[in-house]
Amino acid sequence: DTEVTQTPKHLVMGMTNKKSLKCEQHMGHRAMYWYKQKAKKPPELMFVYSYEKLSINESVPSRFSPECPNSSLLNLHLHALQPEDSALYLCASSQIRIDYEQFFGPGTRLTVL
């Protein structure tokens, strides 16, 4: 299984809602990543988890809260988002570190009203 899955595919939420994005991989990868991608722009790194521990937070606002419950799962909890947070959120994983091949999920398209 060389797949990274993400749910949901699409999400519409109001600024007062709380929602979560979910990412799963069963390739035994120990590094997992959250990226944010705006239209016609490259992905921007948000968080890196290495061996289930948060290793990088790219100064992401606290309304985004990552969680890695186990080595296969990565969540992104969303609370009090702004319309400018509307974007495609991509999850990725790699064997150990950033210089290993990254496998990307299909993304969650988030719209904040």
Q: Select 79 or 109, whichever has its Cβ closest to other proteins.
A: 109
Q: Identify which range of 20-28, 60-68, 71-79, 104-112 contacts other proteins by CB under 8 A.
A: 104-112
Rounded distance between C-alpha atoms, residue 52 and residue 75, angstroms: 11
Shortest Cβ 43–other proteins spacing (Å): 6
Q: Could you say which of 32, 43, 68, 110 contacts other proteins (CB under 8 A)?
A: 43
Rounded distance between C-alpha atoms, residue 45 and residue 10, angstroms: 20
Q: Is the peptide bond before 8 cis (omega within 30 degrees of 0)?
A: yes
Per CB under 8 A, 80 contacts other proteins: no
Q: Could you say which of 7, 55, 82, 111 contacts other proteins (CB under 8 A)?
A: 55
> How far is the CA of 33 from the CAs of 17, 48, 111, in angstroms?
24, 5, 21
Residue labelled with tokens 């799963």: 24
Q: Which residues bind other proteins (CB under 8 A)?
A: 41-43, 45, 48, 55-56, 90, 92, 97-107, 109
